[in-house]
Structure 1
Amino acid sequence: MNHDLLKRVIFDQHEIIRNAHIVPRRYTLDPEANYVITGLRRAGKSTLLYDMVRNLVSSGIAWERIIYINFEDERLVDFVSTDFQDIPLVQSELSDERGYYFFDEIQNIQHWERFARRLADAGERVHITGSNATMLSGQIASELGGRFFSLQVSPYRFDEYLDAKHQDHIGSALYTTREIGRIARHFDEFYRQGGFPESLRYTSQRAYVENVYQKVLLGDIAARYKVRNVNALRVLMKKVAETVRNEVSYSTLHNALKGIGFSISKDTLISYLEYAKEAYLLFSISNATAAFVEREGSPKYYYSDNGLLGLFLVNRETALLENEIAVALCDRFGEDLRYLKSSRTGIDVDFYLPEAGIAIQVAYSIAGEARAREVGNLVRLAKVDSSVTRFLIVTKEEEEVIDADGISIEVMPAWKFLLGECGS
């Protein structure tokens, strides 16, 4: 690899970092650790590295010691694994002191993990980002030899969105009528448009999100995995969006595609879904295995940002509301998040957190018949599972406490739930 070219890439990136607008995120990184940072494209991974770089420079580290390379730079299109050896050489040409290495979207280069391990073994400070969950797989973790901490970054959660909008959301702001009204208005925007950090800069946030989606679909999924039937992949993503809030089997999705002329195999469909999860486009939760649940059941799929889901849905406010709650809960509780559905007991609970002892229903409103349905499911659960100690119904706007059959059920608006239960 031409060293002058690498230097131009590095110094051009320095200029980008100097000029970047950085909104503080909720993530705290250990200054003594190396990191592999993953997550959905445009979720803010690079900005975390920019912040680290600027902190280093503020502490007295010279820019010449900062080796920041974005592997999606078109000037590196011919970069291959054997070119990695030129990076430390370039660093030594730029400074007599040790460097700090930052590599964006490095998963595009084969055997990147061996190079990262070699630098870490030599005592170098190395930070890496990528848009694919396989970067945290067991095989790669073994290659890295425990030299790196892992961190998954998501788009803004609601408290971060409010920070970016310069809206106070702590202390008296949660009790002042005027501020509550402003917070609720911001939530209306947030749960419809999503939380991609850069999208807030644009008049048409939808156009920005559409661009991100196409990049994930065509680049992170179709190109990376050599998908043959891209149109089937597109339609599958739309069909998954239409199932949000409901469990769905592979057979159901397969038949839905077959019914409109896409004759891919069920194995191929399953692979497509896994690719979408690895690219952080989708995530799924499973039916909890409890004594009163007779089967595990099919997964429920959610989109990792409401802006993405909104590309497919028209007038589906309840789906958007539940998707946002799912995203926040998954971000907060990880693999503990489940749902509960049992035909034997009649229980149908949207979100179940067995370790935390929490059960949550999501309803746009509990007016009319919805009240009996949502309350009834939580009461039935309370009668068979004594480990659940907190019951909630998250709505768009309603708030009260319901006493039913000896259990107390908190009803709260989504914005308050997100700031209280899933805030930083």
Structure 2
Amino acid sequence: MNKEILIKQKKELEYLLKKPYIPRQKMVEAKSFLDSDLVKVVIGPRRAGKSIFTAHLFKDKLPAYVNFDDESLVKLEDYDELIKELHSLYGQNKYLLFDEIQNLPNWELFINRLHREGYNLLLTGSNAKLLSQELATSLTGRHVPIEILPFNFKEYLKAKEFEYQENEMVLPEKKGILLNLLIDYMTNGGFPELVVKGLEPRGYLDTLLDSLIFKDIVKRHKLRLSEKIYDLELYFLNNFTAEFSYQKVSRLLGFSSVATLEKFVKYLEEAYLVYTLTRYSYKTGERLSSPKKAYLVDNGYISAKAVQYSPNNGKLMENLVFSELLKMGYQPNHSLFYYRTKNNKEVDFILREGLKVKTLIQAAYDLNGPDTEAREIKALIEAGGELKCNNLIVLTWDDEKIVEVNEQKIVFMPLWKWLIN
């Protein structure tokens, strides 16, 4: 066991706590679990701010810290030696913070043992399903997941030091600055390091995406057909918000089978690169057989890697609404769906609470096209009738009004107002 590595990582943790920190909205929820005996599992994409979040969450406890995103620690075999070295470095300490725990072989058995011995454990990981499946097996009911995604818009505005009151948005200069920031957020996304340091987006995100695919997919799953996973990610980057079927994509990209494609899509989902959204239906068979839609965790990836020079603002806005719904806690294919009416009119997002559809949302960047507004209204009215839902919303770039059709109200709300409220 190389004690020098742990000493170096201790200094890295101390440095991390000195860096500027933008408070995250998940902090209040996370602190409520801090002293419980549940294993706290902070999950999310790489570079979304998990490490600095967990460092600040645990900072008053002065935890012993190990970052397993280190090649020399991945080969670790003597876990007792690790615990001994941690106690020699940090003293008597029952608080342990383990970063990127999924890199450690048989980590779930090690964590289970430490949990039984009374340690207060905080873990981070960049592979949602791998963590949840393995923890569900070894720590049934004894862990709590806390998901950290790139900045939401309110966090982004804090990072940009933009202070506002909603009543100030009647001032043209204030609103103009806000809309300018929203354009940047919608185009370049909310990865914390990019936002805080003002880095060049394309270079940063291009490198991050390629590195992530290699480390979290190609290397972890020992893929021999590594070019196929890159082709698949590029396909979704250029066809985000569009419906797709596994059969068509499999033929288009030359996969040997639909099953192989489905497995590769799952890898992208586990690494927080792609989300697939199911079409809502009361019938399970229709849900399974209908085309899905693809979304990205952050708009910055699209602008950095998509082939088209300038991505469509309407699609960017739809993807942004999807990612913000994730940050609000909606779960794709559980409480979040898309929908097509019996007359094939599409509604972008269906929000469900329990078994009841509560809200229908359309994302409409530009309402100036011929019949655009009427088309959005008709789709919502028709879907609202079929799903017995009266809360109908059209998110716009900057239009605000209420339209009433046959005693049914449709609320047109500016995107910025929805994001900050």
**TM-score, normalization by structure 2:** 0.89
- Residue pair 1:159, 1:169 contacting (<8 A) in 2 also: no
Deviations 1:241-298 (A, max 9, x none): 232222210012112213xxxx43322111110000000111121111137x966512
Taking a change above 3 Å as real, the CA distance of residues 73 and 371 of structure 1, as seen in their structure-2 partners, is: same
The alignment partner of 1:354 has SS state of strand
**Aligned mates of 2:164, 2:267 — CA distance in 1:** 37
1:418 is displaced (CA, Å) by 1.6
- Aligned Cα RMSD in Å? 2.2
1:83 is displaced (CA, Å) by 2.6
- Residue pair 1:318, 1:364 contacting (<8 A) in 2 also: yes
> Paired residue for 2:78?
83
**Aligned AA (1:49):** T
**Aligned AA (1:245):** T
1:175 is displaced (CA, Å) by 4.6
**Aligned mates of 1:357, 1:266 — CA distance in 2:** 35
**Aligned mates of 1:269, 1:381 — CA distance in 2:** 32
**Aligned AA (2:69):** E
Answering whether residue 292 of structure 2 is matched by residue 287 of structure 1, we say no
Deviations 1:26-81 (A, max 9, x none): 1121221331111111111101112124333xxxx5xxxx321111134435x33x
- Residue pair 2:64, 2:97 contacting (<8 A) in 1 also: yes
**Which of 276, 293, 300 lines up with 1:307 in the alignment?**
300
> Paired residue for 1:341?
340
**Aligned mates of 1:50, 1:295 — CA distance in 2:** 41
Where in structure 2 are the equivalents of 1:181-330 lying within 5 Å? 181-200=176-195, 201-258=197-254, 263-290=255-282, 297-310=290-303, 311-312=305-306, 313-315=308-310, 316-330=312-326
Taking a change above 3 Å as real, the CA distance of residues 294 and 53 of structure 1, as seen in their structure-2 partners, is: closer
> Paired residue for 1:374?
376
Length, aligned pairs only:
403
Answering whether residue 30 of structure 2 is matched by residue 35 of structure 1, we say no
Q: Structure 1: which 5+ runs fail to align?
A: none
> Paired residue for 1:22?
21
123-132 or 304-313, which moves further after superposition?
304-313
- Residue pair 1:284, 1:301 contacting (<8 A) in 2 also: yes
1:236 is displaced (CA, Å) by 1.3
**Aligned mates of 2:120, 2:104 — CA distance in 1:** 20
Percent identity over the alignment is 28
Deviations 1:338-369 (A, max 9, x none): 11114x33331111113351111112212222
- Residue pair 1:117, 1:145 contacting (<8 A) in 2 also: no
**Aligned mates of 1:107, 1:123 — CA distance in 2:** 21
Taking a change above 3 Å as real, the CA distance of residues 5 and 359 of structure 1, as seen in their structure-2 partners, is: same
1:114 is displaced (CA, Å) by 1.3
> Paired residue for 1:407?
408
**Aligned AA (2:48):** A
1:103 is displaced (CA, Å) by 0.9
**Aligned AA (2:70):** D
The alignment partner of 2:317 has SS state of helix
155-164 or 204-213, which moves further after superposition?
204-213
1:101 is displaced (CA, Å) by 1.0
Q: Structure 2: which 5+ runs fail to align?
A: none
**Aligned AA (1:17):** L
The alignment partner of 1:411 has SS state of strand
Taking a change above 3 Å as real, the CA distance of residues 95 and 290 of structure 1, as seen in their structure-2 partners, is: closer
- Residue pair 1:13, 1:68 contacting (<8 A) in 2 also: no
Taking a change above 3 Å as real, the CA distance of residues 7 and 235 of structure 1, as seen in their structure-2 partners, is: closer
**Aligned mates of 1:137, 1:395 — CA distance in 2:** 36
Taking a change above 3 Å as real, the CA distance of residues 406 and 18 of structure 1, as seen in their structure-2 partners, is: closer
- Residue pair 1:38, 1:132 contacting (<8 A) in 2 also: yes
Taking a change above 3 Å as real, the CA distance of residues 329 and 199 of structure 1, as seen in their structure-2 partners, is: same
- Residue pair 1:191, 1:306 contacting (<8 A) in 2 also: yes
The alignment partner of 2:142 has SS state of coil
1:97 is displaced (CA, Å) by 2.4
> Paired residue for 2:65?
68
Deviations 1:150-190 (A, max 9, x none): 11110001111011111124454445443222221110000
- Residue pair 2:127, 2:270 contacting (<8 A) in 1 also: yes
Deviations 1:78-101 (A, max 9, x none): x33x23222221133235522421
47-56 or 5-14, which moves further after superposition?
5-14
1:5 is displaced (CA, Å) by 2.8
**Aligned AA (1:276):** L
The alignment partner of 2:8 has SS state of helix
**Aligned mates of 2:183, 2:228 — CA distance in 1:** 33
Taking a change above 3 Å as real, the CA distance of residues 365 and 85 of structure 1, as seen in their structure-2 partners, is: same
**TM-score, normalization by structure 1:** 0.89
1:116 is displaced (CA, Å) by 1.2
> Paired residue for 2:123?
128
- Residue pair 1:35, 1:126 contacting (<8 A) in 2 also: yes
1:199 is displaced (CA, Å) by 0.6
